[in-house]
Amino acid sequence: MVSFFHLEDYFSKYGRKEPQAMNHIPATFARGCPERRFFDYLADNPAYFQRFMVGMNLVESWSPASGIYDFTWLTEKAKQEPERVVFVDVGGGRGHAILAIHDEFPGLPLGRFVLQDREETIEAVVAEGHPQMEEVQKVAIDFFVAQPTKGMIQKLFSPCWHVSQLKTTGAMVYFIRRCLHNYSDTWCSEILGILAGAMADDSKILIQEDIRPVPPDPKTAYLDFLMMTYGGKERTLQCWETVLRNAGLAISGVSRGSGPWESLVVIECVKKI
């Protein structure tokens, strides 16, 4: 609501257009520090960070991570290649998507899952000590620097794994859920381009997001308006095609939710040939 209250002043200063950068966005403009990125601002304000996470956890509880995409093929592939990282949850927060997907497909080996997020989030996951999450490898990352699973797989597994048995190749799946709507088209292509560079030829990127219909329904219209204040947006499928093409990727399938989740999809992507 703080961001909404200052939108008139924001658009007077920057013009009536969607933000293109990660700073100079309504959320930080409204708090008197427009030059800052929102998540950097959060990291420096622990009390606000905690309130933000409570709100985000509530929003996430309305959008299921499982029940949309069929991971049966991944369960079988994991058996065939026992030395390879199976699933990397990029920007996966507290790991709730990993746990939900594993609950639906218990044949997936948790010890070959990797949770990636900002350092403060990974520290919070470790501190919580969830029994199942202790099996999951946890890595702090910066979206915009590198994807560590290509050349550093040996560092991601527990010591009982022999380095000589591990292949420094891309993970089977890179899963990125409700993160990319935080960013503009340009930055989304940048993030996805880094992931594409880490992929093996048979790797897949799975993107779970709300798809904005044309015309938008009230739910996705509200989400689009909200994400704009953070410098992001909700996208149509056609918009996703453009973002992915600019990252060197192509859509190989779209799995849709049902009932109240019909706008929630998993977009399956492969390297563009």
Tell me which residue range forms the domain holding 143: 72-215+242-271
Q: End-to-end CA distance of the chain: give it in Å, rounded.
A: 45
> Is residue 92, in this structure, part of any structural domain at all?
yes
Same domain for 141 and 21: no
Q: Please give the torsion angle defined by the CA atoms of residues 184, 270, 61 and 58, in that order, rounded to the nearest 10 degrees.
A: -20
Same domain for 202 and 140: yes
DSSP 206: E
CA distance 156 to 166: 10
Tokens read off for 22 = 């990660």
Residue 100, number of CB atoms within 10 A of its CB:
14
CATH code, 114: 3.40.50.150
> Is residue 235, in this structure, part of any structural domain at all?
no
Backbone dihedral angles phi then psi of residue 238, each to the nearest 5 degrees? -65, -40
Same domain for 181 and 90: yes
Same domain for 81 and 140: yes
CA distance 4 to 53: 19
Same domain for 138 and 182: yes
Q: How many domains does the chain have?
A: 2
> Is residue 229, in this structure, part of any structural domain at all?
no
Same domain for 99 and 40: no
Same domain for 101 and 26: no
Same domain for 112 and 31: no
> Is residue 189, in this structure, part of any structural domain at all?
yes
Digit-coded pLDDT (tens) for 107-140: 999 999 999 998 888 998 999 899 999 999 999 8
Digit-coded pLDDT (tens) for 223-270: 898 999 999 999 999 999 999 999 999 999 999 988 777 788 999 999
User: What is the pLDDT at residue 134?
Assistant: 92
> Is residue 228, in this structure, part of any structural domain at all?
no
Same domain for 85 and 28: no
User: What is the pLDDT at residue 164?
Assistant: 33
Residue 144 has pLDDT above 70, yes or no: no
Same domain for 7 and 87: no
Mean pLDDT across the chain, nearest whole number?
87
H or E segment at 197?
Answer: helix 185-198
3 state SS of 268: strand
Same domain for 90 and 36: no
> Is residue 190, in this structure, part of any structural domain at all?
yes
3 state SS of 70: coil
User: What is the pLDDT at residue 160?
Assistant: 31
- Tokens 């601002």 correspond to 41
User: What is the pLDDT at residue 50?
Assistant: 85
Tokens read off for 6 = 């200052």
CA distance 46 to 104: 34
User: What is the pLDDT at residue 168?
Assistant: 44
> Is residue 163, in this structure, part of any structural domain at all?
yes
Tokens read off for 233 = 């947006």
> Is residue 21, in this structure, part of any structural domain at all?
yes
Chain centroid to CA 195: how far?
11
User: What is the pLDDT at residue 169?
Assistant: 66
Same domain for 94 and 10: no
